[in-house]
Chain A
Amino acid sequence: AQKITQTQPGMFVQEKEAVTLDCTYDTSDPSYGLFWYKQPSSGEMIFLIYQGSYDQQNATEGRYSLNFQKARKSANLVISASQLGDSAMYFCAMREGYKLSFGAGTTVTVRA
């Protein structure tokens, strides 16, 4: 069964605008972690933000924020003030134990 679901294959966003990337997950483990990674065309995986299942507040890292809705099992990523350099593929991932399961990814293209 799919553990991480990203329903948006691709998105376009205007420079300086905000964009929300959807992610839903499925687990019965009360302890888990949710990650977002950026993968530019070079292929490297760049860590963006982390949310623990017991964290009370939504995680934020600079222009990245995670909208964590535990009851809905969703962990959407919000990128504010988009920049041309944000164009990349974005993956949501869930940690159970030390293993990561990844979603299918969302390709974001920022337009000038």
Chain B
Amino acid sequence: GAVVSQHPSRVICKSGTSVKIECRSLDFQATTMFWYRQFPKQSLMLMATSNEGSKATYEQGVEKDKFLINHASLTLSTLTVTSAHPEDSSFYICGLGQISYNEQFFGPGTRLTVL
């Protein structure tokens, strides 16, 4: 299966700062990547679909100006949380799309804590 990495795995930042999370597909060229957010003991919620070379598609209720997504190459998508606040503290997971119909591949996740 595809190997997906995320960096950093854990980040702590002060309120008001911006944080960038990278998602890399190590052995597959992904035209589509997904970004999910997961609060403690809750489900994964799709935030946006990242498309290589074009604008991301955001799910309803997700602020596109706050969660900036850039998919500049077939192996890298980035999520930037701008002006982070404590309520943005969460576990962020990226996933690869369009690989196969019967499996989805996920990164190991990034745990963001905003103080």
Contacts and interface: CB of A to CB of B under 8 A. Distances in A.
Contact of A102 (B1, B44, B98, B102): B44
Contacts, number: 55
Nearest to A44: B108
Interface string A38-65: 0000111101001010000000000000
Interface of A, secondary structure class, is: strand
A103 B43 contact: yes
Contacts of A99: 34, 46, 49, 97
A42 B97 CA distance: 23
A98 B44 CA distance: 15
A70 interface: no
B75 interface: no
Contacts of A50: 102-103
B34 A52 contact: no
A44 B103 CA distance: 15
B91 interface: yes
Contacts of B34: 99-100
Contact of A43 (B32, B45, B49, B111): B111
Interface in A65-112: 89, 91, 93, 95, 98-105, 107
Contact of A104 (B42, B97, B106): B42
A99 B59 CA distance: 11
A100 B95 contact: yes
A35 interface: yes
B92 to A, nearest CB: 10
Contact of A52 (B45, B46, B101, B108): B101
Contacts of A104: 42-43
Given A33-B101, A50-B103, A100-B104, 13 more contacts: A35-B103, A43-B91, A43-B109, A43-B111, A44-B106, A45-B95, A95-B101, A98-B32, A100-B34, A100-B44, A100-B46, A105-B41, A107-B41
13 contacts: A42-B108, A45-B106, A47-B103, A50-B102, A89-B41, A91-B44, A95-B104, A98-B97, A100-B34, A100-B46, A104-B43, A105-B41, A107-B41
